[in-house]
Amino acid sequence: MLSRLAFALAALSLFSACSGESTAPGPSGPCSDATLAPDEYVAGLTRAGKNGTVGVKLLDALPAPPAAGSNEWEVQLIDASNGPLPNAIITKVRLWMPSHGHGSGVTPTVTPGENGKATIKALEFVMPGVWTVTVSAQNEEATDEATFAFCIDG
């Protein structure tokens, strides 16, 4: 009798564990690959440079959050303390879909502005999913690159 009760309790706890899992919102949609952790878009989002020298601040995105189709970003090159780097320039902007292993097919254009700022146009996210945008930059002393990742909805 006691062992039956123990078994019933064990079965009940197993059941509740499973039902608990099933009610949790599971990953779904175009960005369900759990190995990729896209950024949550906010104006002013910063990404440090890989080498710790030239990072990028995403001042504004059009549309916001980034979406499928053609996007335009206002960015600013920044140092490790998020201060502007007036003499840094962007050398390359690369779009990539890590889970599919392909890029955009469209080369973004960069127009430099004041105080390390730049306008990046023709950011073409050609399909839904997680996209990375890697901004390569350099100043007098260093070259660096900073990468954003966003979930692009269909």
Report in angstroms the alpha-carbon separations of 79 from 2, 75, 84, 112: 67, 13, 6, 17
Q: Which stretch binds Cu ion (CB under 5 A): 24-32, 57-65, 78-86, 93-101?
A: 93-101
**Of 58, 75, 78, 97, the one binding Cu ion by CB under 5 A:** 97
Region of 129 please: left (phi>0), alpha (psi -120 to 50) or beta: left
Decide: is 92 part of the binding site for Cu ion (CB under 5 A). Answer: no
Give 43 or 127: the residue with its C-beta nearer to Cu ion.
Answer: 127
Residues 131-150 that bind Cu ion (CB under 5 A): none
Q: Are 44 and 60 in contact (CB under 8 A)?
A: no
Write down the least CB distance from residue 127 to Cu ion, Å: 5
Decide: is 85 part of the binding site for Cu ion (CB under 5 A). Answer: no
Nearest to 72 by CA among 22, 25, 127, 123: 123
Decide: is 95 part of the binding site for Cu ion (CB under 5 A). Answer: no
Q: Which stretch binds Cu ion (CB under 5 A): 25-33, 104-112, 125-133, 146-154?
A: 125-133
CA-to-CA distance for 115 and 136, rounded, in angstroms?
17
Q: How many residues bind Cu ion (CB under 5 A)?
A: 3
Q: Which stretch binds Cu ion (CB under 5 A): 33-41, 97-105, 112-120, 142-150?
A: 97-105
Decide: is 54 part of the binding site for Cu ion (CB under 5 A). Answer: no
CA-to-CA distance for 104 and 109, rounded, in angstroms?
13
